[in-house]
Structure 1
């Protein structure tokens, strides 16, 4: 974690995070909603450490759509009621604009790596592209399975994973923050 001096005191540098799945209506929006709930409240110890949080899809199937109703109801059932998002597709600029880009599964990760490596974009990229499940806390990488065709229980599992991964990521990235 890099730091920058502010008034003689080293402060952690703000970071930006992008969550990516295929269509940007289930998993990546779930992750964004959960992550925002942990960092964007003024009482959060991470409030001043996160610059930007967003989500998108590798495909443009749902561009402009709101998140799946089951995503929104799962978030609401867990106390997250202020999340608003319109689906969008991944952009070349995302690799320059975000510090971390988290894929929900291995297919998304491969798509992100191919996208990043096309043309000259990789030389201007600052993003660390990785599987979100690297922060599982279990010692092994996990994937967030697409719950779209599975049902409500799969949305609940995705929520649990997103909360656990987000918490672990924040604790590992900002180890000196009192939580």
Structure 2
């Protein structure tokens, strides 16, 4: 985590990763972006870049799943746009934090990182480390489950985002 003095002088960048980049990682990006890009947020000037991607390129160029978009809209996030993309080697150098949505994504990220021939800047971790419950949580893939799972993913992304920001930038509040 960034120290509070580093947090005051440097802006952080955050990347969210799932498998296909149309459900969970886009949900997390939309939620996180809505928090840090709100001018009334104490975190407004602390985050530089927010993005999401998938470890697989199955949906490259596609918009987020319509259930992701409707869940975001139902929670007041109506200005989110994204085209799915696959993880790149450069992401490990371009972002300070890379958050995996589940343990399979985390293992994929760790393997990708190990194969990298260039220095790595990003801290790679499970997003659910910021659950606030004392245990790590995963954001289950809602794609085949249904709308209720998208709503649960939204709740988790909101909670994890808030906890990450509070712990990483304690002087912001």
**Per the shorter chain, which TM-score range?**
over 0.9
Cα distance, 1:55–1:119 mapped onto 2, change above 3 Å: closer
Aligned length: 171
Residues 12, 174 of structure 1: 8 Å contact kept: no
Residue-by-residue CA offset, 1:52-103 (whole Å, 9 max, x unaligned): 0000000000000000000000000000000000000000000000000000
For residues 36-63 of structure 1, the C-alpha deviation after alignment (integer angstroms, 9 at most, x for no partner) is 0000111111111001000000000000
Give the alignment's TM-score, normalised by structure 1.
Answer: 0.93
Are residues 1:149 and 2:152 paired? no
Give ranges in structure 2 of 5+ residues lacking alignment: none
Are positions 1:112 and 2:109 aligned together? yes
Matches within 5 A, 1:75-154: 75-121=72-118, 124-154=119-149
Structure 1 runs not aligned, ≥5 long: 5-9
Q: Structure 1 residues 25-34 or 38-47, which shifts more?
A: 38-47
Quick one: distance in 2 between partners of 1:13 and 1:47? 13
* Residue correspondence of structure 1 range 158-173 to structure 2 within 5 A: 158-173=153-168
In the aligned structure 1, how far is the partner of 2:165 from the partner of 2:145?
Answer: 29
More strand, by proportion: 1
TM-score normalized with structure 2 length = 0.96
Corresponding position of 2:61: 64
**Contact kept? 1:16, 1:53, Cα under 8 Å:** yes
Which of the two has higher C-alpha Rg?
A: 1
Superposition deviation, residue 12 in structure 1: 4.2
Structure 1 stretches of at least 4 aligned residues deviating more than 4 Å after TM superposition: none
- The C-alpha deviation readout for 1:108-167, integer Å capped at 9, x for no partner, is 00000000110413xx11100000000000000000000000000000000000000000
* Superposed CA RMSD: 1.1
